[in-house]
């Protein structure tokens, strides 16, 4: 039972505080102070071919503005396959095609596609 008391290192990478810290360093708009990261809420984890896939609701806002939500999809490989951060893209955070690698915690994030399910 003691083994269940703490999360494995690979799974703790998806904790809100670790994701927030990674995004704060990796997202240029947040690092510059153009955007404020208010909240990071990972949820809906599922295992797909050995990789954990999850959704993450991120609340951001301008320093003098109201926050808004951005939905991201993330992936986390428990095998810990080494990843190398790629140079940042010119795509704005949350825009279609935005993606980011947080190599310190082994998480890859990208903007979630619009929800196409019927109501």
pLDDT at 8 over 80: no
pLDDT at 5 over 70: no
User: What's the whole-model pTM score?
Assistant: 0.81
Q: How confident is the model at residue 84, as a pLDDT?
A: 55
pLDDT band at 43 (very low <50, low <70, confident <90, very high): very high
When computed from its CA atoms, the radius of gyration of the chain, rounded to whole angstroms, is 15
Position 62 in a domain: yes
What 8-state DSSP symbol labels residue 88? P
Position 117 in a domain: no
Position 89 in a domain: yes
Number of domains in the chain: 1
**Distance in angstroms (rounded) separating the CA atoms of residues 20 and 40:** 6
- Please enumerate in sequence order all residues whose Cβ is within 8 A of that of 102, keeping only pairs 6 or more positions apart, or say none: 13, 19, 22, 23, 26, 108, 109
Q: Which domain holds residue 37?
A: 2-111
Q: How confident is the model at residue 4, as a pLDDT?
A: 47
- Dihedral (Cα; 76, 34, 90, 81), 10-degree rounding: -20
Position 119 in a domain: no
Position 47 in a domain: yes
Q: How confident is the model at residue 80, as a pLDDT?
A: 63
pLDDT band at 82 (very low <50, low <70, confident <90, very high): low
């Amino acid at each position: 039972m003691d083994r269940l008391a703490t999360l494995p290192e690979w799974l703790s990478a998806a904790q809100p505080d670790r994701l927030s810290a990674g995004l704060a360093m990796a997202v240029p708009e947040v690092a510059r102070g153009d955007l404020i990261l208010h909240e990071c809420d990972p949820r809906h984890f599922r295992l797909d071919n050995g990789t954990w896939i999850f959704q993450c609701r991120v609340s951001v806002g301008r320093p003098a503005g109201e926050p808004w939500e951005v939905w991201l999809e993330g992936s986390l490989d428990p095998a810990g396959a080494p990843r190398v951060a790629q140079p940042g893209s010119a795509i704005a955070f949350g825009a279609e095609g935005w993606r980011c690698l947080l190599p310190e915690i082994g998480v890859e994030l990208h903007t979630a596609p619009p929800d196409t399910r019927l109501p």
